[in-house]
Structure 1
C-alpha cells in the first residue's frame, strides 16, 4: 500500500508507504449477575470481535486487519473490567512483525480491572521476522483484590520454513500496579543478531521461542504448587520451564527451540492451571 510520492534529497521521487494506525477499546461490567459488554470502540486496522461463548467467560478477540506490523505502524488497545467482571482477551491468530524499511512498529495496551474482577490476557504468539522492528508496552492497573493473568509468547522466525533471524529490534515493557503501587515491572530488549544473543546459557540456550506468564493475584503463593504440577505434566520435548511466586505474583518462564512444542506446552499448561479450556481461536 502507498500514497503520493515525495521528493528525496537527490531530487528523485520516492514512494511514501502507507502505515497502519489503529485503536480499539472494550469494557465489561456485571449486570444481573452476568458479565456484559458496556463499551466497544474500534478504528483503523484494530478490531475487536465478541464471539458467542457458552462455557467460557466473556471473550474479546483482537484482530489486526492489516495482517501484520512493520516500521511506522501504530496500534493501541484498551480493556476495562468493572467490579466483579470476568473476561478473556485473546487474538485471532499470531501477530507478525515483518521486515522494516525504517523505524519500528509500536503497540500499546492499557488494561484496568476493578475490585474482584478477573482479567485474562492470553494473546497468541508474536512472530518476529528477520530485520523486523517492534516496540510494545503494556500497562495494567488493578484495584484491591482483582486478578490479572497474562501471557506473552515471542517466536523468532518460522523454523519449518528455514527462516533465520540475524537482525532484529524488539522491545517489550510491562508495568503492573495494584491500587496505584507498582508490583511488577519487566523489560525485554532484543537488538542485533538474535541467534547469537539467545545462544548463551544465561539467555535462552539457543531457544528460538520464549513465553512468560504472570499471574498477579493475592493467593499467588498458594497457586505455586499447582503451577509446578502442571509443568511436571508437560510432554517430554524441547520445552524448558520454571515457576516462582512471591508477594502476590506468580511467574512462569518457558523457552524452546521449537515453536510448535512451545505452543502445545502452553495449551496444556494453561488448560490445567486455569482448570478451563482456552478460547477456540487457540485451536484453529
Structure 2
C-alpha cells in the first residue's frame, strides 16, 4: 500500500524539486524538529532526589511481637427535630459495626433501631451511640435483638457508651432489649442523659446471666453498669452496678439475686411520677421494688430467667410509656 504523503504546500514543492517519493517521515516538519542531542530542548534534566520518609529506629529485641486480635468498633449518632408536627431525622452518622434503621410509624413519634452487625461483643470491642432530641420531639430507641457479651481473652473489656441529650419538652424512651452475659464475658456499659427540666424520658437496661434453657451458667466475668442522669445540668441520679470475679458466689446471696439470674433497672421522669408509684410497685410484685428518687421513678426487677423477666418488664414499660413497646420486642 502506498504511503500517504504530507499535504502542506511546502512539502509538495520540496518533493517535486528533489523528485522524492512521498513518505510520512521525510517532510520538513519532522526535519525541523530534529535538533542536536546536546541542545537545550533535549538536554537531560537532573533528576530530583527521591524523598525518603523518616524511619524510626526500632529497638532490637528477640521477643516476638504480640499478636492483637481483630476487634469490633462502631459508632452511631442521630439528631431528631419536629417538622410538620412529626418527629423526623435531622442528622445521621454511623460507622463500623453499628447501624441505625428507622421504621415508618403511623404515629407522630420516631423510632430508631440499633443493629450491631458484629453479632456480639467480646473483650476490646467498643460501641458508642449518641442521640439528640430537639424541643418537642418524641423518640424511641431500641435494639434489633439481645446483645451478647462473649468470653473475653487476655482480660480485655468491651465498652458500650450511650449519650442522650433532650431539649425542652422532648421525650425519649431508651428501651434496648436484654443483654446476655456469658461465662467469662467482660463489659463496661455507660448511660449518660442530659435533659431539660421539662423533658420526659423512660430508660431501661436489663441483664441476663446465661441462658437457662441452654444449660449455661456464669461463674466468672466482669459487668459494670454506670448511670448518670442530669436535669437542667444538675445530677439527679447516679448508679453503679458492678459484678466482678466470682459472680456466682456474689449473686447467690439472698440480698442480691439469690436463685434469680435476670435483672432490670428502670428510670423514668414523668410529670405524674408520684401518682404512678403505687401502680408500678403492684406491677413489679415481690421480686423487685420501686422508689421516688429526686423526682424520678426508679425500679429494679429480678426474675429466675430472661423469659420471666420479660413477662414482668413488658407491662411495666408499657404502662410508663403510655403505649405499646417497639414491634421488635415481640419478634
Measure, in 2, the Cα distance between the counterparts of 1:170 and 1:162: 21
Tell me, what secondary structure is at the counterpart of 1:16? coil
**Residue 42 (structure 1) aligned to one of 94, 113, 117:** 94
Residue 84 of structure 2: aligned partner: 32
**Residue 281 (structure 2) aligned to one of 228, 243, 255:** 228
Q: Is the 8 A contact 1:230 1:273 kept in 2?
A: no
Measure, in 1, the Cα distance between the counterparts of 2:77 and 2:210: 30
Residue 175 of structure 2: aligned partner: 122
Q: Is the 8 A contact 1:90 1:122 kept in 2?
A: yes
Higher relative contact order (CA 8 A, sep 6+): 1
Measure, in 1, the Cα distance between the counterparts of 2:266 and 2:71: 31
The Cα offsets for residues 176-208 of structure 1, whole Å up to 9 and x where unpaired, read as 001110000000100012221111111112211
1:258 maps to 2:310: no
Structure 2, unmatched stretches of 5+, are: 1-60
* TM-score relative to the length of structure 1: 0.90
Measure, in 1, the Cα distance between the counterparts of 2:210 and 2:103: 30
Measure, in 1, the Cα distance between the counterparts of 2:178 and 2:293: 26
Measure, in 2, the Cα distance between the counterparts of 1:220 and 1:149: 11
Q: 1:273 to 1:219 in 2, by over 3 A?
A: closer
Q: 1:250 to 1:11 in 2, by over 3 A?
A: same
Q: 1:193 to 1:56 in 2, by over 3 A?
A: farther
Higher strand share goes to which structure?
Answer: 1
Measure, in 2, the Cα distance between the counterparts of 1:12 and 1:260: 48
Measure, in 2, the Cα distance between the counterparts of 1:228 and 1:200: 23
Measure, in 2, the Cα distance between the counterparts of 1:202 and 1:48: 39
1:188 maps to 2:241: yes
Residue 272 of structure 1: aligned partner: 319
Residue 330 of structure 2: aligned partner: 283
Measure, in 1, the Cα distance between the counterparts of 2:323 and 2:153: 42
1:245 maps to 2:292: yes
Tell me, what secondary structure is at the counterpart of 1:214? strand
Measure, in 2, the Cα distance between the counterparts of 1:56 and 1:254: 31
Residue 124 of structure 2: aligned partner: 72
Q: Once structures 1 and 2 are overlaid, which stretch shifts more, 202-211 or 181-190?
A: 202-211
Measure, in 1, the Cα distance between the counterparts of 2:228 and 2:249: 28
* TM-score relative to the length of structure 2: 0.78
Q: Is the 8 A contact 2:267 2:298 kept in 1?
A: yes
Measure, in 1, the Cα distance between the counterparts of 2:178 and 2:146: 5
Measure, in 1, the Cα distance between the counterparts of 2:239 and 2:167: 22
Task: Tell me the number of residue pairs that the alignment of Structure 1 and Structure 2 aligns.
Answer: 270
1:152 maps to 2:152: no
The Cα offsets for residues 129-156 of structure 1, whole Å up to 9 and x where unpaired, read as 0001101111100012101210000000
Q: CA RMSD in A?
A: 1.7
